Amino acid sequence: MELRSSSALAKRGCGSESRKKPTAVMSIRSRILFRALHISHREIRFFRQHLFQLALALIRVELRWKGWIVVERSSSRRGSSKKPRLMDDDDRELTVEEFRKAIHAILVRMDRIRSSDFYKRFLAQVGGSVGESLAAMGVENLVVYGLGRISRSESSRLQLALVLLLRQDRVLPEDCLIWVFDPVLTACEWRILRQLNCRAIDSNELGLRKVEEPTLFFMPHCESHLYDNVVKANWGSLGKIAILGNSFASYMERWTIYPNQKGSRPDHLLAIQPRAVELRVDDVDFMYAFNDMSWHFFPDE
């Protein structure tokens, strides 16, 4: 930058300087405007891409901190080796660390449910007529249908957590057996379930399990034909079963309004619904896991 003395500036006069000043200001404004337009076209797209990658990284960190296992996308580079997805490889054995993280993820959700307002209302309901009905039945088995992929679905993990709380918090007897079936579960997921003292149903019963001992069926989000099959299989001894799952009253309402729906009509479910004792579960806190859920009891006439 050129430096001049004050005397030299005085010789130039104020008039010429004042005439050149607006031109200089306009030049600066033009450069700023051009720079802003230049950023909006090219550099903002660059920043957006990197902000998106940063957001993904933060999500992965949060998931790992909460104890769940983050599955990384495999690289297409030649010679690259990635660990197989947890619970997606049926043949391999889980490492001790994988086992610990998977069990911890379920325990975290048990604590989350236990500390929620949903569970306080749930236990208050159990302390009333629901608990009296369960005690009168003397439930010995808990059958879980349609649990889903506990390695992929947050709803499935929360549903499993509630199942374990039913026994741990003495809603059901401590020695109550938990039986689980879902055809989508992998061998690795079964190892996790067995570690949590759940037993496997060996074959797909299609809901047609005729019980010998008093049994609670836990079936949130199952299809109507599964409920219909449970009722059908135990039609002569409905006093031995209770169902915690989709509202029978909601099914009745839908079939009454839309009698020509696609799919088979759940005749046994609809026939027993008027005689069933149904108690709705407040699902405000965990709607995606327990929405439209009710207790159903079938008292002997």
pLDDT tens per residue, range 126-169: 989 899 999 999 999 999 999 999 988 999 999 999 999 999 99
Distance CA 76, CA 73 (A): 9
- What is the per-residue pLDDT across 170-228, written as a single tens digit (0 to 9) for each? 999 989 999 999 999 988 899 999 999 999 999 999 999 999 999 999 999 999 999 99
What integer pLDDT is reported at residue 57 of this predicted model? 64
Q: What is the pLDDT of residue 28?
A: 58
* Confidence at 235, pLDDT banded by 50, 70, 90: very high
Q: Which domains does the chain have, with CATH numbers?
A: 96-297 (3.40.50)
pLDDT in tens, 28-84: 555 555 555 555 445 555 555 556 566 666 665 555 554 454 444 443 344 434 443
**pLDDT at residue 162 in the model:** 96
What integer is the mean pLDDT of 246-260? 91
Q: Listing from the earlier edge strand, what are the strands of the sheet with 277-280?
A: 198-200, 177-181, 141-145, 215-219, 241-246, 293-297, 277-280
- pTM recorded for the entire structure: 0.69
Q: Phi, psi (5° rounding) for residue 36? A: -65, -45
End-to-end CA separation in angstroms for the chain: 103
| pLDDT recorded at residue 93 | 67
